[in-house]
Each structure stands twice: as structure tokens, then as C-alpha cells.
Chains A and B, each alone.
Chain A
């Protein structure tokens, strides 16, 4: 167990709908990252937040948005869903510049999104 939690574990919805994925980082970690992993695909970086502020953006669609709240949990909002959005969405967290865990990202179990 990495200490990162994600809910829900599975999500099935229809095209055109909107969903929210939730992530709670490890205690003390300030950075949260979101990744999309489609079938047989690698980890596509979507977005990173650090202590409540957006830090970096990857290939995130305009239909997707995210935020990090004061308690450091993060939510990824996916709207106007399309079939191609079906994927495993991972959240990861990391501390910032501290000892042996410098840069290491701890991944959550993922949310499997199925768009029908």
C-alpha cells in the first residue's frame, strides 16, 4: 500500500457525461500528479499540482480539469466524455526535496473509467 488513495475504483458512465475522480496523497506529500493510461499505453502525464497550485501541464484535454484543495486532496474532472476517454487514471504524490524520497512518486491504485 503506497498510502495514496483514489476513489472510486471503477466508474462506468455514458458518453457526454461528466465525472469526478478523487485522490488523497500520502500524508505530508505536497505534490499530486494525474496520469492517464489507456489499454496497452504508457503513462500519459496530465497535470501536476503543488500545495494547491497548478505546477505543470501535460497532454490534458480542455474537457478535463483538476484542482487541489487546502487539505491537499485533488480532484480530476472529466466532462463531455467520449469513448476514447475510457482508461485507467492514476494519481501519484511526492514529497518535495526530502532525503531518500527525493522525486519518488507514489502511485494510487487507479480509477478505471469505462465510457459506454
Chain B
């Protein structure tokens, strides 16, 4: 079946440093790639997404890049802050069923003050 892999599973960075999380997907027809952030005990919330017709998207300290040829996409967080500490999930749409996404296993990010 279709699959989304995500690395690393845990990541610790010093406050102010950058953090990068990488994902790969298997369905070459995927065209939508959202990233969700889940703080401890709370619901996942969309933080940024990218569609297959663009290669990069930026929103303040967060950016996402997409390489459709290699079937991988990455989340970049710059100038990390303690409030960035959370679990981050990448996801990829399931081919033509564009309203279903497959989630990666998550990355637990810790930002050390």
C-alpha cells in the first residue's frame, strides 16, 4: 500500500538553531503535502502545506520544499523557539483520492532553551 516515511523520529536543537524534518512518499500521483503540528495533549493543526505545482513555500520561520522527481519533501524551521517543541507529522495525498492523506509516523522536536 501507499506509504509515507519520516525522519528523524526525534530531534533536539538549541534555541535559535534550525530544524529540518524529511519525508518520502510512495504514490507518484500524490499532489498535496500538508504538515501538521501536535502539541502535547492537543489536536494536530495544519501549519503549512504545498501542492505539487510548486517547489517551495515559506511562511515566516517555516518553509517546505518538494522534490516530485525524488518523491520527497522537507520541513524547515528557522530560529527555533521553545514553543516550537511538538510532534510534527508530514502527510501526502493518496493519488486521485485527493481528500485522503496518509500521515507519516511523526517527529518529536525538542527545542532546548
Binding site for B on A (CB under 8 A): 2, 31, 33, 41-43, 45, 48, 50, 55-56, 90, 94, 96-97, 102-110
Contact = CB atoms under 8 A, between A and B. Distances in A.
Contact of A45 (B32, B51, B102): B102
B104 A42 contact: yes
A45 B99 contact: no
Interface residues of B, number: 23
A8 B17 CA distance: 40
Contacts of A96: 99
A103 B101 contact: yes
Interface of B: 32, 34, 36, 42-46, 49, 51, 89, 93-94, 97-106
Q: Which DSSP category, helix, strand, loop or mixed, fits chain B's interface?
A: strand
B46 A105 contact: yes
B97 A45 contact: no
* Majority secondary structure of chain A interface residues (helix, strand, loop or mixed): loop
A42 B43 contact: no
A108 B38 CA distance: 12
B44 A103 contact: no
B34 A103 contact: yes
A64 B36 CA distance: 26
Contacts of A110: 43
A43 B103 contact: yes
Contact of A43 (B44, B51, B93, B98): B44
B36 to A, nearest CB: 8
Given A103-B32, A103-B34, A103-B99, A42 B89 contact: yes
A74 to B, nearest CB: 15
Contacts of B104: 42
A3 to B, nearest CB: 11
